[in-house]
Structure 1
């Protein structure tokens, strides 16, 4: 065989071997890409995303789209060729697998965590929207979770409303721990609670709870301090609303839709049309006081929003620099720090006052 032919054949075989290696050998990476966007003012899966009853609502127009990021599954292992392609693709992001799926958490734990974050984001969106409108929101202390194998297991349940501990009224979650730790481990502590089902029924029927239970528990030693008494619950805050707000959106997790849910609620509860028919998208966590927080994957979300037709993107202040480094053409990135900031910017967008918008800048 001529030397030149042999060299070409060897090179071809080497190339084939490298391609096989690239396809067959998994690498510890995962991929993020633009996910679906959903108009919080519209419908999804055949029903309105925001459903409000017991309060007058008003027509809306335009878009207030929440945005998402699509990620490869926890069990999926990219090969080298896929990782290289992802790195070269402008709209995708390849990250270490452990960034999305930490080794110390199972897939089920991660799914539960993102589901809880999504649920909490909906709750905070409702609270922030109503506070912004000056509509009173009630609060109450509840059992957020019960530790398996603790004295409270089977006696107290997630969602139970804690009225008092040892006869002393409970006004905030910290009161529960303070009253329990007054005891020595082994001593009894008494809870006055409204069972979760009764509390939910009373709220739905707009009445006072009819059932209260007295639960007496023997305290146990804290795992990290044998002198500290515990009963094995985590206390938290729940809210009561003067009317019903339901958010219907399946197959979404995490807290990043909070801002857009809150704005959608405000839009439906006020006669003024917030967008004036404009296509606005955005992202950001939100707390009960309307503070907007940063999220992950903002670059993917801006791409997804622009591909669906968005012209403006409400961007958490802490994400602005990253988003502005590679903003899609035709998409204006608007910096927001609170729900109030977002509403002011929407008013400018509606009026066509783009020059007055607080824009995201690099650095």
Structure 2
């Protein structure tokens, strides 16, 4: 009898332990990710080689289970976020992931444009449609479209920008049908939906989607940026530096290991990101010697100040460099002495 009780208890304990791995808590956990060399990721046709390396830095973010939650409670530089801080109202995880991938795509386009224009090379765009990044519950698109679908025709018409797509739809009235041709799950599909008024703005009609442009950039020489499943816009600055370095004969790395983070817009302005502390830890572990951090125009709560504090805390020897623009980062590197070999 005791043996049966023992075996039963053992099975229950094992079941609870295994269940703890798969039962999600209403939290997300972030922790230091990796610092990844960009030269294998970015390839400019006939681009110049470099002695050192530019590196992007990442944060590992995932839904918490009981073990990762408890681990984050006791480990420094691991953060716990309530679910509603990561996912906005009624937003699904698929929609969140689609947004992150689209922000990465936009970051790549901005980085390419900034680098090529700095190198004096013309840049052109080709509009390919719009990506769905969120579907509004209760609106006509619900159940018919999902995050990641790419719409490229409306009523048989193609458009040269998302603004023209929106303008076309806005001229119609509630109840009017529109036919959408789109790609979802690698298949081309066509659906017809009727427009409805938005509850928060009855003067506007639509099908209930948040969207972002799907466009490709046309440059010569060509450039390829392979980011796989890395999401978010925070690698923009480092992308632009790596691309520019391959376009020009002077090697800006000067033989150093250079990491960093920061969004980049089409004019080259560097913006703040989340998880700067974890990225400092990741860069330090990877052996980075220089780290570019968003300066936020000297704000007392800037990424740069948080990065500096973390670097001191972990006793890192990295040089933390504040930047507000791509141009500032380039000028810093141009003044940098060659690393002793």
Q: Using structure 1 for the length normalisation, give the TM-score.
A: 0.66
Which one of 40, 52, 58 corresponds to residue 68 of structure 1? Answer: 58
Question: Which structure 1 segments of 5+ residues have no match?
Answer: 1-22, 42-47, 197-214, 353-363
Which one of 254, 267, 290 corresponds to residue 268 of structure 2? Answer: 290
Q: In the alignment, which residue of structure 1 is the partner of 2:300?
A: none
Distance change (3 Å), C-alpha of 1:228 and 1:341 = same
Deviation at 1:35, TM superposition (A): 1.4
Which one of 70, 76, 80 corresponds to residue 95 of structure 1? Answer: 80
* C-alpha contact (below 8 Å) 1:140/1:161 kept by paired residues: no
* 2:98 is the alignment partner of 1:123: no
Paired with 1:250 and 1:189, the residues of 2 have a C-alpha distance of: 34
Q: In the alignment, which residue of structure 1 is the partner of 2:100?
A: 114
* C-alpha contact (below 8 Å) 1:299/1:322 kept by paired residues: yes
Distance change (3 Å), C-alpha of 1:269 and 1:178 = same
Q: In the alignment, which residue of structure 1 is the partner of 2:321?
A: 334
Q: CA RMSD in A?
A: 3.9
Paired with 2:307 and 2:167, the residues of 1 have a C-alpha distance of: 44
Deviations 1:119-166 (A, max 9, x none): 32222222222222232222344431366845xx79xx726279x97x
Distance change (3 Å), C-alpha of 1:350 and 1:280 = farther
* 2:35 is the alignment partner of 1:49: no
* 2:305 is the alignment partner of 1:321: yes
Q: Using structure 2 for the length normalisation, give the TM-score.
A: 0.70
Deviation at 1:218, TM superposition (A): 8.5
Give the 5 Å matches for 1:10-89. 31-41=29-39, 48-53=40-45, 56-71=46-61, 73-78=62-67, 82-86=71-75, 89=76
Deviations 1:247-266 (A, max 9, x none): 12334222211111111111
Distance change (3 Å), C-alpha of 1:317 and 1:142 = same
Give the 5 Å matches for 1:256-335. 256-318=234-296, 319-327=303-311, 328-335=315-322
Question: Which structure 2 segments of 5+ residues have no match?
Answer: 1-19, 184-189, 297-302
* 2:229 is the alignment partner of 1:242: no
* 2:231 is the alignment partner of 1:253: yes
Deviation at 1:175, TM superposition (A): 3.5
Q: In the alignment, which residue of structure 2 is the partner of 1:221?
A: 196
* C-alpha contact (below 8 Å) 2:29/2:64 kept by paired residues: no
* C-alpha contact (below 8 Å) 2:26/2:64 kept by paired residues: no
Paired with 1:185 and 1:174, the residues of 2 have a C-alpha distance of: 20
Distance change (3 Å), C-alpha of 1:303 and 1:267 = same
Distance change (3 Å), C-alpha of 1:142 and 1:279 = same
Q: In the alignment, which residue of structure 2 is the partner of 1:176?
A: 165
Corresponding residue pairs, total: 290
Paired with 2:262 and 2:83, the residues of 1 have a C-alpha distance of: 23
Paired with 1:183 and 1:101, the residues of 2 have a C-alpha distance of: 35
Larger Rg: 1
Q: Secondary structure at the match of 2:74?
A: helix
Which one of 324, 333, 336 corresponds to residue 346 of structure 1? Answer: 333
* C-alpha contact (below 8 Å) 1:29/1:77 kept by paired residues: no
Q: In the alignment, which residue of structure 1 is the partner of 2:10?
A: none
